[in-house]
Structure 1
Amino acid sequence: MNGDNHELPLISVIFPAYNVEKFVEKAVASVMKQDYPHFEIVFIDDRSTDNTASVAQRTLDSCTRPVRLIRRTENRGVSAARNLGLALSRGEFVCFIDADDFIEPNYLTLLYNAISAEKSDLALCGFNHYFVDSGKTVPERFKLKKSLAQPEDYLFAWHMRKISTSVWGFLYRREFLLSKGIRFNERCNRGEDGEFIQKILVRSSKTVFVRERPYNYVHHDQQITAIGREDERAPGLKKEMTLASVRAARYVLRYSRSKKVRYAVRYIQEPEILIGRFTFYARRRDWENYRSRLRFLRHRMVRKILLSSFWALPYSPELFFKCVVLLSAPRLFYKLRARQLRSPRP
C-alpha cells in the first residue's frame, strides 16, 4: 500500500448508533486506529436517550481524519441511519460498523487490498464473537475456505450456511450500491440485514473473500434487555422478518441467473419461511396461536412448498425432516421445537 494517503481512495466508515454509550468509545477508537490512512467517519446518532452522541463526540474530537457526526431529531431505526450515512458519504468505498462492536487495526487494509486487487464490487471477511462478561473471543467458523469463482456462488453458500455474516462483514464499492439502487428497507425493523445481503450478493459482478477475521461482534447484556423488550411485540417483528424474507426471495428470483441459487430459494428459503412461522409460536410455547395456524397446512400451495424441500435433501436433510414432521405430526413438531433453546446469532 502506498504511503501517500491521497493516492489511495477514500473509504467512508458509517456508524449507525442508538443507546450504546458503554461501547461506542471502543468502537470509534478502533476505527481511529486503522492502519489504512485515507478514510472518513460518518457517525449517525439515531436520537439516543443516553450519552451515546456526547461520548462519540468526545472520542472523535481527537480524530485526525474527516468526521461527520449527525444527531437525528427523531428515532427512525438502523436502516434509515445507514441510508443517511450512505447518502452523506464521499468515499469510493463504504463499510458499516455497528457502534457496539469493534474492528482490528487492519480491517480496512485487508478489505481494500482484496477489493482493489480483484476489481470487485464487494469484499467479504470473517469475524469473531467477543463476549463482554467473560472477555472471551470465539472465532466464527466459516465453511468457506477461499474465494469462489462465480459471484452468485456466495449467495448459494449463504443459503447453505457456509457463510454467516451481516452487513458489517463487507467493504462495498459505493458506485455499485448507487447504480443498482440497493438501500436498506426503512419500513423493516427485523430481517433487514438478510434482505440487504441477498440483494448485494445477487447483483454483484464480482465478490472476493478474505479469510482473516478483523471484525469483532460484541455480545453484551443490553442485547438481552433489548430482546426482552422486543418480545412484547414479537408477533409483529416476526411478521416483518417473514415479509423481508419474501421480498428477498422475489428479488433474487428476479435477478439471479444461477440455477443453483434459484434452486436454493425455491426449495430451501421458501420452505424455511413457512417453517419459521410455526417455529416462532412453538418456541414461545404459544399453543393457541400455533393451533390456529394449522389450518394453513391444508392448503395445497403450502403443502407443495413444504414438500418441495425434498429436492434440497442432499443439502439440507434437517429442513426436509422438519417439513415432514410439521405436515404429518404437527403436535410433535410443536413439542420438539418448544424444547429447543435459542442460541445467540450475529
Structure 2
Amino acid sequence: MKLSIVIPTYNVGSYIETTLISLVSQSKVDFEVVIVDDGSTDDTLNIVKEILGKSATFKYKIIEKENGGVSTARNIGLYQSMGKYVMFLDGDDYVSHKLVERIDKFLDDENDVVCWGFNKVDTHQMDITNYFDKYRSNLKTMSGIDTLKYIIKERAMFISVGSAAYRKSTLLKYNIKYTEGCSNGEDQEFTYKFLSKVNHVLFVNEVLSYYVQRIGSISNSYDIKRFDVINAMNRTIYYMEAKGNNKKLIDIANSIKNEFIIGSFLFNFNSCLNFIETGKSMKAKINIIYREIDKYYPKLSNEVLSIMKNYKGNNVKMKIKIRLFLFSPIVYNRLFSLKNFVDK
C-alpha cells in the first residue's frame, strides 16, 4: 500500500463528515485511513463509524485513546500506519476527490515527500485565499534545503499539515515526529526538520487540499498557547545547527531566527490584542499578554525583543514593523490590522 492518511479527531462532530466524504469520494481507492480519536466527548466517533462503516471502499482503522493532544494522536497514527507514505489531515479539513489519483504515481520510493497546493476556506467551503494567488506555480522537483529556502527565505511556497505525503521509512530513520504538548507550530517544526534531512521533494502544481478556518480555533481566538510556535522554531533552529558543517542549512536557521520568530511573535501578539476581551484599555491588554507570556514562557519576551533590537536582516518591511512595535505596540496594532498583518 502506498498511502496512509492519518486523521486525529477531537470533538469535530460538526466537521468530520465533510472530511470523510472527501475521502469516500476519491477517484482512486488504494489507500488507508487511520482515525485516531483523542478522547472526543461529542458524537465524532459515532459519525466516523457510521460513515466509514457504510461507505468506505478503502482500508481503515479507528484508534481510540484518552485525550492527550493532537501531536500525540498524529504520532500514534504514524506508527500504526501501513503505507509507504503517510499524510496528516485534520478532522475539520478536507481534500479534492482526485487527491489520491493525482499523487499516486509520485509515491515511488524516490521522492522523500510529495506536496501540493491548498486553499484556505470558510466553514461553508468558500475560498478565503487561493494558494497560487500567493505562491509560485512553476515548482517541480527540489532538494529539501531548496524547499526550505523557498518556504522560509523566498516565501515562494508553503506546506501545511494536509498538503504533503512523507515517506514513512525516512521519518522513522531520523526519528522525526510531532512534539507532544506543543499546540502551535508543531506542524512546521515537523516539516522543516524532515526537509533538512532529505534530497527529493516533488511539488504537484494543483490545489488538492482545503484548510478550514473556523471560529474558536487557536488561530481565530485568544490563546496564549499561540506562542508555542516560538519554542517550536527554536527547537528547529537547534536541530539544523546541530549539523554544524552545512552552511546553507545554517543560513536557513538564521533566517528562521531573524524573520520567522520575529514575524510569528509580532503576529501572535497582535492577534491576541485583537481577540482579547473588550472593555479593557489597550495598555491593560498589552500588560495581560506580557504577564501570560512570562508565566507560560519565561524569558521568551526578552529573548525575542533582543532579537528584534539586534535585527540585521534586509527585509525593509520587517525593519519597519520592528521599529513600530519597539516604539509602541499600541501604535503597531493600530497601523497593522489582523487581516493585513498575516505574513507567512
Q: The TM-score by the shorter chain falls in which range? A: 0.7 to 0.9
Q: 1:12 corresponds to which residue?
A: 4
> Given residue 215 of structure 1, which amino acid in structure 2 is its aligned partner?
S
Secondary structure of the 2:162 match is helix
Distance 1:291 1:95, change over 3 A: closer
Q: Distance in 1 between matches of 2:185 and 2:303?
A: 27
Question: Offset at 1:187?
Answer: 2.1
Higher mean C-alpha displacement, 275-284 vs 50-59: 275-284
Q: Distance in 1 between matches of 2:33 and 2:69?
A: 19
Q: 1:171 corresponds to which residue?
A: 165
Q: Distance in 2 between matches of 1:168 and 1:300?
A: 32
Q: Kindly indicate whether residue 23 of structure 2 is the aligned counterpart of residue 31 of structure 1.
A: yes
Whether the 8 Å CA contact 1:279–1:334 is kept in 2: the answer is no
Q: Distance in 1 between matches of 2:106 and 2:130?
A: 21
Distance 1:320 1:115, change over 3 A: farther
Q: Kindly indicate whether residue 237 of structure 2 is the aligned counterpart of residue 249 of structure 1.
A: yes
Q: Distance in 1 between matches of 2:92 and 2:197?
A: 29
TM-score (norm 1): 0.81
Secondary structure of the 2:57 match is coil
- The aligned length equals 321
Question: Offset at 1:22?
Answer: 1.8
Q: Kindly indicate whether residue 343 of structure 2 is the aligned counterpart of residue 341 of structure 1.
A: no
Within the candidate set 107, 111, 115, 2:103 is matched to 111
Q: 2:320 corresponds to which residue?
A: 321
Q: Distance in 2 between matches of 1:165 and 1:321?
A: 27
Within the candidate set 85, 92, 105, 1:100 is matched to 92
Secondary structure of the 1:269 match is helix
Secondary structure of the 1:224 match is coil
Q: Which runs of 5+ in 1 are unaligned?
A: 1-8
CA RMSD between the two structures:
3.2
Q: Which runs of 5+ in 2 are unaligned?
A: 274-281, 294-298
- What do the CA deviations read for 1:293-330 (whole angstroms, capped 9, x no partner)? 9xx99x89965x436643x31xx32123333445xxx2
Secondary structure of the 1:190 match is coil
Distance 1:331 1:247, change over 3 A: same
Question: Offset at 1:184?
Answer: 0.4
Q: 1:306 corresponds to which residue?
A: 308
Higher mean C-alpha displacement, 281-290 vs 87-96: 281-290
Within the candidate set 246, 257, 262, 2:250 is matched to 262
| Percent pairwise identity | 24
- What do the CA deviations read for 1:65-118 (whole angstroms, capped 9, x no partner)? 22211122x2111111111111111111111111111111221222232342x8
Distance 1:309 1:68, change over 3 A: same
Question: Offset at 1:197?
Answer: 1.4
Secondary structure of the 1:82 match is helix
Question: Offset at 1:229?
Answer: 9.5
> Given residue 71 of structure 1, which amino acid in structure 2 is its aligned partner?
E
Whether the 8 Å CA contact 2:262–2:304 is kept in 1: the answer is no
Whether the 8 Å CA contact 2:141–2:200 is kept in 1: the answer is no
Secondary structure of the 1:126 match is strand
Q: Kindly indicate whether residue 186 of structure 2 is the aligned counterpart of residue 189 of structure 1.
A: no
Within the candidate set 149, 156, 162, 2:149 is matched to 156
Distance 1:268 1:274, change over 3 A: same
